[in-house]
Chain A
Amino acid sequence: MDESLQQIANSIALIMQVDSGTAATASVAPIASVCASSGMHALTVFVLACFVGYYVVWKVTPALHAPLMSVTNAISSVIIVGAIFAATQHLYCYSRIFGFLAIVLASVNIFGGFTITHRMNERNKGIMKDNGK
């Protein structure tokens, strides 16, 4: 998996360097320098993260697809970060209200999602213990 990621990173680095007309050196490090513009940087992060997600999720056993859904549900509520920005500023009233609402919603999700996942995992652990006896 690490190898293929390295390859992907290399090929992305290559493509972008060809586009920007700079000399091509195939390693992961140049990515940061090539995508100095923030838009390109964000896109690079996004694409690489998609590949990481792809490889990690294919390794999940089908028996654990339900906890996978609930844990992804919980971590997608990391959007709470944006809500915290909005709620802790004092310039704009509307924004603050939206921010507070978003914090409440996201934290329902975070706490709920992790709790459900924990319940399922405890169940699984219990079974393994029973069988160990």
Chain B
Amino acid sequence: MIIDLLYLVAAVCFILALKGLSSPESASSGNFIGIAGMIFACLAAYLSTDLSNVVLTLLAVCIGGSIGVCIARSLSMTALPQMVAGFHSLVGLAAVLVAFSAYYAPEVFKIVGEFGRIYKSSLIEMGLGVAIGAITFSGSLIAFAKLHEIYKGTNVPKELNAFLGSSILCLLIYFVLTDSQCAFWLLTFLSFVLGATLIAPIGGADMPVVVSMLNSYSGWAASGIGFTLHNDLLIITGALVGSSGAILSYIMCKGMNRSLFNVIFPSGQDDFSAEKGAATVRPYQKGSAEDAAFILKNAKSVIVVPGYGMATSQAQHALKEMGDLLKRNGTIVRYAIHPVAGRMPGHMNVLLAEANVPYEDVFELDEINRDFATCDVAYVIGANDVTNPAAKNDPSSSIYGMPIFEVDKAKTVLFLKRSMGTGYAGVDNELFYAQNTMMLLGDAKKTTEAIVKAL
């Protein structure tokens, strides 16, 4: 009774933790409610066992906990996407391990029927839990490697994924029917492989979707294990996390005007080996930091459009400094954040927050898009595809239909970019060659610092 009550309290705490995120004021207390929920959950788990090995398990918690805290403390916010992906992989692996321990100790989890055999329904849930967990694990590892830029990606024929998927399904059925240990191991192994082959061919620009999708998977895996263990808390929490990840993936896909199916199973064959360079050489205006500073000084309103390039060059602090100088000058400075800017949902917001950019200055796509027509300068820093007019004008473009910032309507566009290469989508940007665009080539941070100096 007390145990069930504790589980219920924990579930309510988790819901409140998510609800806390509906406004920045309540986010912090929400996090503490979440921590409380986790403590209740662990307490309930300990109370329902016979308390052997408690010291050892607490030691395990301490080891894991200190590793976790060390990683989280030392992490720079730029590396957040890969860290989140890495953490997802741990949930996946933990789910696999718990499923295995349930398989080898069915009595402990009370899933044994007559003649000491595990219930068929439990076998289904266990099989599904282990498969989703394993896919989450290896998929997140690949995503981590890609985000950390130690692995570029490989093309995987669709047939291979289809084959792996259907073999996993067949094995699952076979496993449920026969309770074969061999099938269980093989099922796990194939799911590990499928996780890797699913994520490997997905391109860099689609990473926000992948990260949120894996977030969703880790939730479903927890839910699956909850079904196996007949534990409502695990089911509830898994469902919360699963739907949260699913909603984020949906928002990301909408931000790119693509279907989830299209992202997960990319149709075009990307060339991962070659650098995507500029195909044609066309005339464009190149400016210096001093020119840019002059233009900014005379502007009344400036909208900054940050992208992944700002994250890689760590330009957010220099950017904030520039914004402050301009504000002192009487200029209105605002920041426009595209839903898919960066490598995970909310990536740009975190970086701007790190540099102390105030909330009221940060706007979303729908809120600010109309204002580009009336602003003097659009300062595009490390963003490319989200400003590309081809998404509006060119039906043959691969990004056609994606909602973009109408940067081209601004009086002047200052475009900070490392080189004249194309964006992640590999599409040339008409904006580079526009009359009102000034290209500032080079490292985004150095350029912004130079502008600050010139101001």
Contact = CB atoms under 8 A, between A and B. Distances in A.
Interface stretch (B11-19, B259-267, B415-423): B11-19
B68 A107 contact: yes
Contact of A131 (B71, B87, B360): B360
Interface in A69-98: 69-92, 94-96, 98
Nearest to A120: B350
Contacts of B56: 87, 100
Interface string A7-45: 000000000000000000000000000000011001001
A106 B90 contact: yes
B333 to A, nearest CB: 14
Given A65-B346, A112-B69, A79 B53 contact: no
B371 interface: no
A47 B46 CA distance: 27
B98 A82 contact: yes
B312 interface: no
B244 interface: yes
B105 A63 contact: no
A106 B133 CA distance: 13
B232 A42 contact: yes
A61 B97 contact: no
Contacts of B28: 118, 121-122, 124-125
B400 interface: no
**Chain A facing B: main interface SS:** helix
B362 A49 contact: no
Nearest to B119: A39
Contacts of A77: 38, 90-91, 94
Contacts of B108: 85-86, 89, 91-92, 95
B239 A85 contact: no
A67 B346 contact: yes
Contacts of B90: 77, 105-106, 108-109
A90 B52 contact: yes
Interface string B64-77: 11111101110101
Given A38-B230, A126-B356, A79 B349 contact: no
Contact of A123 (B84, B227, B354): B354
| Chain A interface residue bracket vs B | 35 or more
Contacts of A76: 91, 218-219, 221-222, 237-238, 241
A85 B64 contact: no
Contacts of A112: 67-69, 71-72, 83, 87
B345 A118 contact: no
Contact of B359 (A49, A63, A84, A86): A63
B27 A67 contact: yes
A71 B17 contact: yes
Given A50-B242, A68-B244, A116-B75, A108 B45 contact: no
A53 B242 contact: yes
Given A69-B84, A87-B53, A127 B45 contact: no
Contacts of A96: 53, 101
A12 B75 CA distance: 45
B10 interface: yes
Interface stretch (B29-37, B167-175, B401-409): B29-37
B349 A106 contact: no
B188 to A, nearest CB: 12
Given A77-B91, A107-B64, A113-B68, 15 more contacts: A73-B84, A79-B225, A80-B41, A82-B234, A84-B42, A85-B48, A88-B54, A98-B98, A106-B91, A107-B65, A111-B65, A115-B73, A119-B72, A120-B350, A121-B24
22 contacts: A42-B232, A45-B236, A49-B235, A54-B243, A63-B359, A68-B345, A70-B84, A72-B244, A73-B84, A74-B38, A76-B222, A76-B237, A81-B44, A82-B102, A83-B94, A85-B229, A88-B54, A89-B52, A98-B104, A116-B75, A116-B83, A130-B356
Please list the 6 inter-chain residue pairs (A to B) with the smallest Cβ-Cβ separation, ordered nearest first: A107-B64, A65-B346, A112-B68, A66-B346, A111-B68, A53-B243
